[in-house]
Structure 1
Amino acid sequence: MTKKHYANWPKDYQDPSWFTHDRFGMFIHFGLFSLAARHEWIMTTEQITPADYKRYFDHFDPDQLDIAGWLDQAVEAGMKYVVLTTKHHEGFALWNSQLTSYKVTETPFEKDIVQIFVDEARKRQLKIGFYYSLIDWHHKDFTLDGLHPLRENQFARDTKGQRQMRNYREYLKGQITELLTNYGPIDYMWYDFSYPHRDWGWSKGKGNPDWDGEGIENLTRSLQPHILINDRLDLNRGVKTPEQYQPHHPIVEDGKPVLWEACQTMNESWGYDKYNANWKSVDQILKMLVDTVSKNGNFLLNIGPTARGAIDDLTKERLDGIKVWMKKHERSIVGCEPSDFISPLDCRLTQKDDRLYVHIFSWPYRHIHLKDLQGKVCYAQFLHDGSEVFIEEFDRNQVITSTETHIEAGDIVLKLPVIKPDVAIPVIELFITDNRP
């Protein structure tokens, strides 16, 4: 499927075919908020002033930083692209920006983390994405609004007229230029985020006019013409990025599919949060991955390394579970698209050319019925071990009903063992042909 088919992808945008092929990526949230370890929005939720927040800057020293290990985990889990938070809403730059002293090279750690990330990703042939926040609660010219940590600070409210968004816009563009000039080819620019719909009475949320979304888009594409851009510049185009939400059906606009990516955490925080115990299980995560691809989307799964730069044990457990499943089932995800065939109850279908993949979310008793496939399947097997699955076919014009079965005309029936295979989500691979003798 090429770019011309997508409702939210202008004709002069770059070809997104690598993105729709790869399907699975790793999101990495890392910054000063990792030291606080209680959600990446802590600066605003606890209304911490920039002066008080500086304690995290002064003590930022991830002595166990293991970016190579993070990316090894991504590769082993079947992920094909990685997106790093180069700057989150707190305003801290993970690279050696020449436009601010609020950057990683001025901390005790001193090294350019973006450079390390890019080098390690290229070694592993991973596509590279940069997350960059349009919000900056540290910058002196970022105007106050209802999300700003200083929103109830009387002095800041009294002097808010001294803040000039035009200066901040130049700063944004300057940092974006650095990121897209100093690190070679970048595949994906993940901007975050516009909120013009918010209204607190005394202030309104920010969007395209505040950032100059068109200007940022033009700058991005002029520096890296091949790059993908997400949808958060408030321009109503780009990769659609629902987060912590799984659409109930494929996303379509004006009768055309939408290029989209489901963004999910493992618990309820993006940054490292030692207090959040609401962890998704391996099975839940894998089902979201499969469900997303079956609906023509990509899946971007987040990790939040600790302040010392390591992946915590609960994250490792989930990555390990994903690795086990993906090692045996990757070809039902990578390079796959939705299928036009009707999915059986409690299943999801993906397809790659003449291979149809039936992902079984709830193990049935002995049989799965598939519609409109009579005479079109020449072989079936479990994907995890390649063992044959037997197929029953019947008169395509006859409904069969008895005390033991009910089979609709045109159905085929897959005969299954009573006991579910020992994998999180069993997958049956069907070999499709319309030229069967």
Structure 2
Amino acid sequence: MKNYHQIVERTRWWRDARFGMFIHFGAYAVPARGEWVKSDERLTTAQYERYVEEFNPKDFDARKWAKIAKAAGVKYAVLTAKHHDGFCMFDSKLTTYTISHYFHGRDIVREFLDAFRAEGIKVGLYYSLIDWHHPDYPNVGNHPQRGDSAYSKHHFNWNNYLKYMHGQVEELMKNYGKIDILWFDYSFDNYSGEKWGAKELVKMIRKYQPDIILNNRLEVNQGTDTTGRVLGYGDFETPEQGIPDKGLTDRYGNPIPWETCMTMNNNWGYDAFDHNWKSPALIIQSLVNCVSKNGNLLLNVGPDAEGNIPEKSVEILSTIGKWMDKNSASIYGCGAASLAKPDWGRYTQKGDTLFAHWMNLNLGPINVQGLTQKVKSVYLLSTGAEMPSVTSWWGNSERNNFFINVNTPVYQTFERPDLFDTVFKIELDKTSNREAAH
């Protein structure tokens, strides 16, 4: 259990943060068809090169990005240092296939880290284990030249690729100050664990960054399955584009730190043709959903080729930020409550403070059903105003009913102040039991 307790301690700040920003930024923003364009369209390195040469993010301003992130209420951010196309957004000495070589010597990773740290935001880097550009990475899995028999005849020196990959990770760990999160992507089939030299890689990482948090993708990701998992090389699980039905646990029933990563539209990298934007309401409710199951949300933005976060993304983040300004106490430092999920929304809890998130239309008041502790007070979190509540059998023959509404009479139906999520702050008296009072 030693490893489990180490994970719990290492991830403490991260589990309190609950809300992060993912940033997918690279040369794939030029064709503007998502970060998998090289693979999806079976482009050779020579064909892809024109996008790399055209990539000139002249508007890139990491300080502007950081201010947008802070205003949205995120507590940590993760930037793609290298995606599957192999193009490095940092000044690697192991290749010239870098942003610095093409963009006046600038180092996007360094500028990102400096700007976000200055805003008090914890920083992380994404690094792809896969590399469609390196000559010693074979045409397996989703490689653009998969199925190309002529390409398959090339001599691939796997040990040489591992040396390169480990060397780049070492550069990131040594040369950029304290890194809070390292987000690997991804393992598949037999390309997992020791195929990547994972044991030595993690040992090296922790030599330079002893407190860093690692995700689980040095091994094949288990998605949103909740059964009998064991964290191997990583500190947290990474379900993608979906939220588990319940909190994740290991084979012993211990809660496992986890984080759902989610796009704002349907692409991670910039896609000029993808207008399938998720609403602020859905994103806020997804964040609450994660926290109610002891999880985090990592929400993605995909800047365009000039280095601008899309206007629609900024608009959505601004709306989320306005909700967080008033309701973040129900997110930061919170986790699951002992009460069952109600029909009208969800619960989060921190200590003896229960937060009732009223998300769904409801006839009359909401019922915090099953509450056994005495309630000291009920407030609308966004304003601090005291809210009407009654303990009654009304509408329900079960005991331990506790009805709350935004106006009186409590049993009537009123419009919620926040249609995204109206949050009640319920202060509980841990010294009292409501069952004994009946």
How does the TM-score come out when normalised to structure 2? Answer: 0.91
Q: Report the alpha carbon displacement of residue 52 of structure 1 after superposing the two structures with TM.
A: 1.2
Looking at structure 1, the residues matched to 284 and 346 of structure 2 have their Cα atoms a distance apart, in angstroms, of 12
SS, match of residue 321 in structure 1: helix
Q: Could you tell me which residue of structure 1 aligns to residue 286 of structure 2?
A: 288
Which has the larger displacement, 274-283 or 44-53?
A: 274-283
Contact 2:326–2:382 (CA under 8 A) maintained in structure 1: yes
Q: Report the alpha carbon displacement of residue 10 of structure 1 after superposing the two structures with TM.
A: 6.4
Contact 1:358–1:427 (CA under 8 A) maintained in structure 2: yes
C-alpha root-mean-square deviation of aligned residues, in Å?
Answer: 1.8
Contact 1:392–1:415 (CA under 8 A) maintained in structure 2: no
What is the correspondence of 1:53-68 to structure 2 with a 5 Å cutoff? 53-68=48-63
The equivalent position to 1:244 in structure 2, one of 241, 244, 248, is 241
Amino acid at match of 2:87: F
Q: Report the alpha carbon displacement of residue 383 of structure 1 after superposing the two structures with TM.
A: 1.0
What is the correspondence of 1:73-84 to structure 2 with a 5 Å cutoff? 73-84=68-79
Q: Could you tell me which residue of structure 2 aligns to residue 209 of structure 1?
A: 194
The equivalent position to 1:328 in structure 2, one of 326, 329, 350, is 326
Do structure 1's residue 30 and structure 2's residue 25 form an aligned pair?
A: yes
Q: Could you tell me which residue of structure 1 aligns to residue 188 of structure 2?
A: 195
Q: Report the CA distance shift for 1:77/1:223 in structure 2 as closer, same or farther (over 3 A).
A: same
Q: Report the alpha carbon displacement of residue 183 of structure 1 after superposing the two structures with TM.
A: 0.6
Contact 1:369–1:412 (CA under 8 A) maintained in structure 2: yes
Q: Report the CA distance shift for 1:346/1:415 in structure 2 as closer, same or farther (over 3 A).
A: closer
Q: Could you tell me which residue of structure 1 aligns to residue 383 of structure 2?
A: 385
Do structure 1's residue 270 and structure 2's residue 268 form an aligned pair?
A: yes
Q: Could you tell me which residue of structure 2 aligns to residue 358 of structure 1?
A: 356
Q: Could you tell me which residue of structure 2 aligns to residue 218 of structure 1?
A: 203
Alpha-carbon displacement from aligned partner over 1:186-212 (angstroms, at most 9, x marks no partner): 11110000001xxxxxxxx52223311
What is the correspondence of 1:332-411 to structure 2 with a 5 Å cutoff? 332-374=330-372, 376-394=374-392, 400=393, 405-411=395-401
Contact 2:364–2:405 (CA under 8 A) maintained in structure 1: yes
Looking at structure 2, the residues matched to 250 and 108 of structure 1 have their Cα atoms a distance apart, in angstroms, of 44
Amino acid at match of 1:351: Q
Alpha-carbon displacement from aligned partner over 1:159-202 (angstroms, at most 9, x marks no partner): 2xx11110000001100010000011111110000001xxxxxx
Q: Report the alpha carbon displacement of residue 375 of structure 1 after superposing the two structures with TM.
A: 5.1
Q: Could you tell me which residue of structure 2 aligns to residue 253 of structure 1?
A: 250
Q: Could you tell me which residue of structure 2 aligns to residue 233 of structure 1?
A: 218
Contact 1:9–1:259 (CA under 8 A) maintained in structure 2: no
Q: Report the alpha carbon displacement of residue 371 of structure 1 after superposing the two structures with TM.
A: 2.5
Alpha-carbon displacement from aligned partner over 1:306-333 (angstroms, at most 9, x marks no partner): 1000111111121111011111101100
Contact 2:344–2:366 (CA under 8 A) maintained in structure 1: no
The equivalent position to 1:424 in structure 2, one of 413, 420, 427, is 420
The equivalent position to 1:167 in structure 2, one of 160, 164, 167, is 160
Q: Report the CA distance shift for 1:109/1:207 in structure 2 as closer, same or farther (over 3 A).
A: same
Q: Report the CA distance shift for 1:278/1:51 in structure 2 as closer, same or farther (over 3 A).
A: same
Alpha-carbon displacement from aligned partner over 1:281-328 (angstroms, at most 9, x marks no partner): 111111110000000001100000010001111111211110111111
Amino acid at match of 1:412: F
Which has the larger displacement, 209-218 or 282-291?
A: 209-218
Looking at structure 2, the residues matched to 372 and 253 of structure 1 have their Cα atoms a distance apart, in angstroms, of 28
Contact 2:141–2:188 (CA under 8 A) maintained in structure 1: no
SS, match of residue 120 in structure 1: helix
SS, match of residue 304 in structure 2: coil
Q: Report the alpha carbon displacement of residue 138 of structure 1 after superposing the two structures with TM.
A: 0.2
Q: Could you tell me which residue of structure 1 aligns to residue 309 of structure 2?
A: 311
Q: Report the alpha carbon displacement of residue 374 of structure 1 after superposing the two structures with TM.
A: 4.8
Structure 1 runs not aligned, ≥5 long = 197-204, 395-399
Looking at structure 2, the residues matched to 252 and 422 of structure 1 have their Cα atoms a distance apart, in angstroms, of 33
Amino acid at match of 1:434: K
SS, match of residue 180 in structure 1: helix
Alpha-carbon displacement from aligned partner over 1:4-61 (angstroms, at most 9, x marks no partner): 7xxx846478621001111100000000111111010111110111111111121121
Q: Report the alpha carbon displacement of residue 278 of structure 1 after superposing the two structures with TM.
A: 1.8
The equivalent position to 1:44 in structure 2, one of 25, 39, 47, is 39
SS, match of residue 252 in structure 1: coil
Total equivalences in the alignment: 414
Q: Report the alpha carbon displacement of residue 427 of structure 1 after superposing the two structures with TM.
A: 0.5
Looking at structure 2, the residues matched to 407 and 285 of structure 1 have their Cα atoms a distance apart, in angstroms, of 35
Q: Report the alpha carbon displacement of residue 253 of structure 1 after superposing the two structures with TM.
A: 2.3
Contact 1:296–1:337 (CA under 8 A) maintained in structure 2: yes
Contact 2:17–2:76 (CA under 8 A) maintained in structure 1: yes
The equivalent position to 1:91 in structure 2, one of 62, 86, 89, is 86
Q: Report the CA distance shift for 1:407/1:368 in structure 2 as closer, same or farther (over 3 A).
A: farther
Looking at structure 2, the residues matched to 12 and 108 of structure 1 have their Cα atoms a distance apart, in angstroms, of 39
Contact 1:77–1:322 (CA under 8 A) maintained in structure 2: yes
Q: Could you tell me which residue of structure 2 aligns to residue 176 of structure 1?
A: 169
SS, match of residue 143 in structure 1: coil
Structure 2 runs not aligned, ≥5 long = 221-230, 408-413
Contact 1:325–1:423 (CA under 8 A) maintained in structure 2: no
Q: Report the CA distance shift for 1:128/1:108 in structure 2 as closer, same or farther (over 3 A).
A: closer
